[in-house]
């Protein structure tokens, strides 16, 4: 149980004294012994006494940004250092100062996941998708390299896996979505066999490319699970890329390409669904609706599907290549917390992103119940809104700016074409460019493959990209 309470404000003089002490410690301690000493049990005990004595301990920071003796109170605490967490930490740093912001994130590497679609198709290197987490944590912001284990919003505090209790004034929850490969019988262990891959995780994305290269003849199967997913276009993007690859390598006539989806339609927005169905017909792809992958027999290269509308009715299909999009759900740590709705998603106001019950708690990205498609593009648009919401809440004013559900999905249809889907809560297209984006275009492929990664690392994560709304207005000037 979380026992922490909100500490009283630290007097300025005391704060300055601690700052001096911190600087002295930094300059007098050598790096290697410090790592060795602080990670020993005795040192942890020492750190604990130090923390108790000072109440708000000085963080001893290595150049990596990892905090060894974390403060136990932060004005703004961010849970998760993915797309939403880093972006919001950058924005909050500008609002309240780096020393008042902390991020809890266990992973050593931060990934730009949207490029994994191209990694799985061999068009980009996996190494290009990741950077050290330390390099994306905004400078001066404390990185607590740990995993959130429990949320206690009634006490304004959280507990970590290692037993740290950390309290906050404002909390931003950005924990993403959980991949549940284990809910499919035969997985994840089936990934140790060839012919199977998944663009959804760092450990399996290169297996997709291997399976594509190894393909000889037979069924190439692509799946879509019976749960919410992130980037709902990604499960079919890899199908179009695979088809293009088979054509380029002379294997197309030997490939039977099948998209087995739990859904009842190819895409949620009619304009783009119509365009995709045309491509599916032209390129002779088979789509089976209401088919949910429930088992993989990787040793026999067989996939078992259940009819979503007729539980118990199953079909076994043998494969020469299988791309799995796993079932997904809210992170377990959230499911058991008081901040979620019945389905386990962080329960926020769909226009302001403020929590419906806890006014000092906010949510962003895949872990929320915002009724829009879960993408990094949506996170970018949400970050601008949440920044504005929090600035008003911090001044005791009512949040005003309203999120319209903007999200975007660059539907990669070949190695040089993209349909750029952009839409809102009402599934109405909200296109940035003054041309028909439902047409496959080289320009949009280049935007997806080269411009977006640059924009992500250099602008979004630094808090300078709140989505393309301003660009849309500019490019449509005089058109309405
Ligand atoms: P994430 O970026 O996933 O971050 C969540 C963070 O929380 C992670 O760093 C994780 O380590 C951390 N975390 C989890 N549990 C804990 C815990 N207990 N304690 C502390 N930290 C924790 N989006 C697009 O806009 N365009 C695309 O073309 C696109 N294509 C995609 C293709 C693929 C194959 C995939 C996988 C995703 C794609 N996306 C795309 C989706 C996009 O990557 C996500 O929607 C986006 O990253 C969501 O950001 P987030 O901050 O909510 O979650
Ligand atoms: C976007 O803003 C974004 O976030 C950085 C993405 O994530 C990777 C996208 O894929 C897209 C398409 C957008 C929208 C940007 C423009 C210029 C239309």
* Interior angle at CA 356, CA 101 and CA 353, nearest 5: 55
Decide whether any atom of ligand 2 lies within 6 Å of the 419 Cβ.
no
pLDDT digits (tens, 9 = 90+) for 144-199: 999 999 999 999 999 999 999 999 999 999 999 999 999 999 999 999 999 999 99
Q: Which atom of ligand 2 is nearest to the CA of 459?
A: 5
Residue 354 has pLDDT above 80, yes or no: yes
The domains located in the chain, with CATH, are: 56-177+332-401 (3.50.50.60), 179-329 (3.50.50.60)
* 234 in contact with ligand 2, CB cutoff 6 A: no
| Residue 4 bears catalytic tag | no
The total number of residues written for the chain in this structure: 480
Regarding beta strands 321-323 and 218-224, do their DSSP bridges make them parallel or antiparallel, or are they unpaired?
parallel
Residue 362 near residue 172 (C-beta atoms within 8 A): yes
pLDDT computed for residue 426 by the predictor: 98
Beta strands 73-79 and 165-173, pairing class? parallel
Per-residue pLDDT of 20-31, as tens digits, reads: 323 332 332 222
Active site residue 231: yes
Q: How far apart are the first and last CA of the chain?
A: 57
pLDDT score of 401: 81
Residues with CB under 6 Å of ligand 1 are 79-85, 104-107, 113-114, 116-117, 147-148, 174-176, 199-200, 230-231, 234, 331, 333, 365-367, 374-377, 379, 408, 410
Cα Rg, the chain, nearest whole Å: 24
Rounded to two decimals, the pTM is 0.89
Catalytic residue among 2, 4, 157, 231: 231
Find the angle CA(122)-CA(192)-CA(130) to the nearest 5 degrees. Answer: 45
Least confident of 55-59, 121-125, 175-179, 439-443: 55-59
- Helices 31-38 and 41-54 sit at what angle, rounded to 10 degrees? 90
Atom 12 of ligand 1: nearest residue by CA position? 80
Helices (H), 407-478: 442-446, 452-455, 469-475
Q: Return the residue matching tokens 């275009």.
A: 441
Question: By C-alpha distance, which of 98, 83, 78, 111 is closest to 138?
Answer: 98
State mean pLDDT over 375-385: 98
Phi, psi angles (nearest 5°) of residue 57: -75, 155
């Amino acid at each position: 149980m979380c026992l922490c309470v909100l500490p009283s404000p630290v007097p300025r003089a005391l704060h300055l004294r601690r700052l001096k002490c911190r600087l002295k410690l930094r300059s007098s301690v050598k790096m290697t012994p410090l790592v060795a000493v602080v990670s020993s049990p005795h040192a942890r005990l020492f750190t604990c006494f130090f923390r108790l004595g000072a109440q708000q301990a000085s963080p001893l920071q290595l150049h990596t940004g990892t905090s060894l003796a974390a403060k136990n109170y932060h004005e703004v605490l961010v849970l998760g250092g993915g797309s939403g967490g880093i972006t919001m930490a950058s924005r909050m740093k500008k609002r309240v100062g780096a020393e008042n912001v902390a991020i809890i994130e266990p992973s050593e590497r931060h990934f730009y996941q949207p490029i994994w679609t191209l990694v799985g198709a061999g068009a980009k290197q996996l190494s290009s998708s990741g950077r050290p987490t330390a390099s994306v944590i905004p400078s001066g912001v404390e990185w607590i390299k740990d995993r959130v284990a429990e949320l206690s919003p009634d006490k304004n505090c959280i507990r970590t896996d290692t037993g740290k209790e950390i309290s906050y004034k404002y909390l931003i929850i950005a924990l993403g979505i959980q991949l549940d490969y284990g809910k499919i019988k035969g997985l994840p262990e089936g990934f140790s066999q060839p012919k199977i891959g998944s663009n959804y995780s760092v450990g399996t994305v290169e297996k997709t490319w291997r399976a594509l290269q190894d393909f000889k003849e037979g069924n190439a199967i692509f799946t879509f699970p019976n749960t919410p997913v992130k980037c709902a276009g990604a499960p079919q993007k890899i199908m179009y890329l695979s088809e293009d690859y088979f054509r380029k390598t002379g294997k197309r006539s030997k490939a039977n390409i099948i998209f087995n989806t739990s859904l009842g339609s190819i895409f949620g927005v009619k304009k783009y669904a119509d365009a995709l169905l045309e491509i599916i017909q032209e390129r002779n792809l088979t789509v089976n609706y209401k088919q949910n992958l429930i088992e993989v027999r990787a040793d026999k290269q067989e996939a078992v599907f259940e009819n979503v509308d007729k539980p118990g009715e199953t079909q076994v299909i043998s494969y020469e290549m299988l791309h799995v999009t796993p079932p997904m759900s809210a992170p377990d740590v959230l499911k058991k917390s008081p901040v979620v709705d019945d389905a386990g998603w962080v329960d926020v106001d769909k226009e302001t992103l403020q929590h419906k019950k806890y006014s000092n708690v906010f949510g962003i990205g895949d872990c929320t119940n915002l009724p829009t498609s879960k993408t990094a593009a949506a996170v970018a648009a949400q970050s601008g809104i949440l920044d504005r919401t929090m600035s008003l809440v911090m001044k005791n004013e009512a949040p005003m700016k309203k999120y319209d559900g903007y999200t975007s999905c660059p539907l990669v249809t070949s190695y040089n074409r993209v349909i750029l889907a952009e839409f809102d809560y009402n599934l109405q297209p909200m296109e940035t460019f003054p041309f028909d984006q439902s047409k496959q275009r080289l320009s949009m492929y280049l935007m997806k493959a080269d411009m977006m990664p640059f924009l992500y690392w250099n602008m979004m994560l630094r808090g300078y990209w709140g989505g393309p709304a301003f660009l849309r207005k500019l490019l449509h000037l005089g058109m309405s």
